[in-house]
Amino acid sequence: MRSDRRRVVITGVGCVTPLGTRVEQVWQKLVAGASGVGPTTLFDASRFPTKIAAEVRGWDITDEGQDADRWRFCGRHTKFAAGAALQAMHDAGLPHGLVADPTRLGVYLGSGEGQQDFEAFTRMMMAAIEGETLDVAKFTKLGLETLHPLSEVEQEPNMPAGHLAAMFDAQGPNLNCLTACAASSQAIGEAAEIVRRGEADVMLSGGTHSMIHPFGVTGFNLLTALSTRNDAPTRASRPFDRDRDGFVLGEGAAMVVLEELEHARRRGATIHGELVGYGSTADAYRITDTHPEGRGAAACMQMALDDAGLGADAIDYINAHGTSTDVNDRVETLAIRKVFRDRADAVPVSSTKSMMGHLIAAAGATEVIVCLLAIRDGLLPPTINYETPDPDCDLDYVPNAVRQARCDRALSNSFGFGGQNISLIVSRFTG
């Protein structure tokens, strides 16, 4: 590995997901092959082609010791972020931020836009309709009288990062990126670069998103990107299987604490692993289609390997983007073969989206945590619902059951609409 720069280790992890709201709870369900997918309950989806989702159920911000009133006007994405961040900072031994210099503690998130109050808007719109025409002036007046001034501000994608900075007195860099499904992986990669450059000693990073609402589902249905296997929700997400018909929309948040190695050592922090490689490329092709030859994805993985100073033979496990869409799974397989060549058949690849759905902006951070746990326990989580092989998807996808195998380094892929590609490599910390 490269020795010409500051090393970045991971000292804290936290998550709020459809499979559970604590890291160990999520991990146990992943290795058991459990699914977090079920009927949509956050809104009436009965008239939509897709009626299923991977929702966060049975969790509230008060479960993290927070006063509900403080978060009253915040969107689900902000509450998820706060919950995951509180867990990660506590795990890192920094429950209140408490670093010697708060300007050396920063936040970098991959956060999506918040969920609007659709019920309020619908009531206002219906009240402002005269005959078959919307009275815009009346609608505006109702909005000014009905909506709280924070209701719009809190939906902005940078709000979670702002809240986290205030929670932990993080006066250093405060940034957010929204590069679709690659967002939280990009945030982690860029946050690590900030630490490597010496601009911060600790960065709280990860992602949060909730798109399980009428606008979100409508958009993905129009793109024919979502599974419509409504009669069998737990079997709907089936990455790399020949009969896959789209991804399952999920929600949640995942956070990691990135820390400069010597800073972590000085305060006696527990180190979960080391972030050693980061690659970022663009397909420069179509907005919603992956390049058919996987050029961006392959270049991204190679860039991460080069950044880490590693060859392809050093990777023991790949957590795939693996969305369960026809094009992504086929092209990701091709890209892996381009990078790993003769060794491609020997590298286990799995998609944990088969169990927790696709958390969009929060997906990559969740999967980085999965990689750390795979390294810790020597267990590779499965790709569930893999029943019928696809000739175009011919790698070892760890089908249907957890596998025991030593894992020292894992690569995590995240590819987003717009053509953004991110690959991260995490390694066992060896001192």
Q: What is the CATH number of the domain that holds 394?
A: 3.40.47.10
Q: Are residues 224 and 131 in the same domain?
A: no
Cα–Cα dist 35/28, whole Å: 12
Tens digit of each residue's pLDDT, the chain (431 residues):
556 689 999 999 999 999 999 999 999 999 999 999 999 999 999 999 999 999 999 999 999 999 998 888 888 999 999 999 999 999 999 988 778 799 999 999 999 876 665 556 666 667 777 777 777 787 677 666 666 666 667 678 889 999 999 999 999 999 999 999 999 999 999 999 999 999 999 999 999 999 999 889 999 999 999 999 999 999 999 999 999 999 999 999 999 999 999 999 999 999 999 999 999 999 999 877 789 999 999 999 999 999 999 999 999 999 999 999 999 999 999 999 999 999 999 999 999 999 999 999 999 999 999 999 999 999 999 999 999 999 999 999 999 999 999 999 999 999 998 899 999 999 999 98
Active-site entry in 181, 300, 371, 407: 181
Active-site entry in 209, 213, 263, 321: 321
> Is 358 designated active site?
yes
Q: Are residues 217 and 228 in the same domain?
A: yes
Per-residue burial over 276-312, b = 16 or more CB atoms within 10 Å of its CB, e = otherwise: bbbbbbbbeeeeeebbeebbbbbbbbbbbbebbebeb
> Is 272 designated active site?
no
Residue 2 lies in a domain: no
Residues 6+ away with beta carbon under 8 Å from 355 = 19, 29, 30, 33, 34, 35, 36, 237, 381, 384
Q: Are residues 111 and 123 in the same domain?
A: no
> Is 321 designated active site?
yes
Q: Are residues 179 and 299 in the same domain?
A: yes
Residue 104 lies in a domain: yes
Residue found by looking up tokens 């180190």 in the block: 271
Q: Are residues 322 and 222 in the same domain?
A: yes
Residue 3 lies in a domain: no
Domain that holds residue 125: 118-150
Task: Compute how many other C-beta atoms are within 10 angstroms of the C-beta atom of residue 132.
Answer: 5
Residue 139 lies in a domain: yes
> Which residues face 319 on adjacent strands?
350, 412
Active-site entry in 358, 371, 393, 407: 358
Residue ending a domain, choose from 150, 169, 203: 150
Q: Are residues 141 and 239 in the same domain?
A: no
Q: Are residues 219 and 298 in the same domain?
A: yes
Q: Are residues 78 and 173 in the same domain?
A: yes
Question: pLDDT per residue over 335-393, tens digit each?
Answer: 999 999 999 999 999 999 999 999 999 999 999 999 999 999 999 999 999 999 999 99
Q: Are residues 192 and 234 in the same domain?
A: yes
Looking at the structure of the chain, the number of domains it has is 2
If we measure between CA atoms, which residue out of 79, 75, 74 comes closest to residue 62? 79
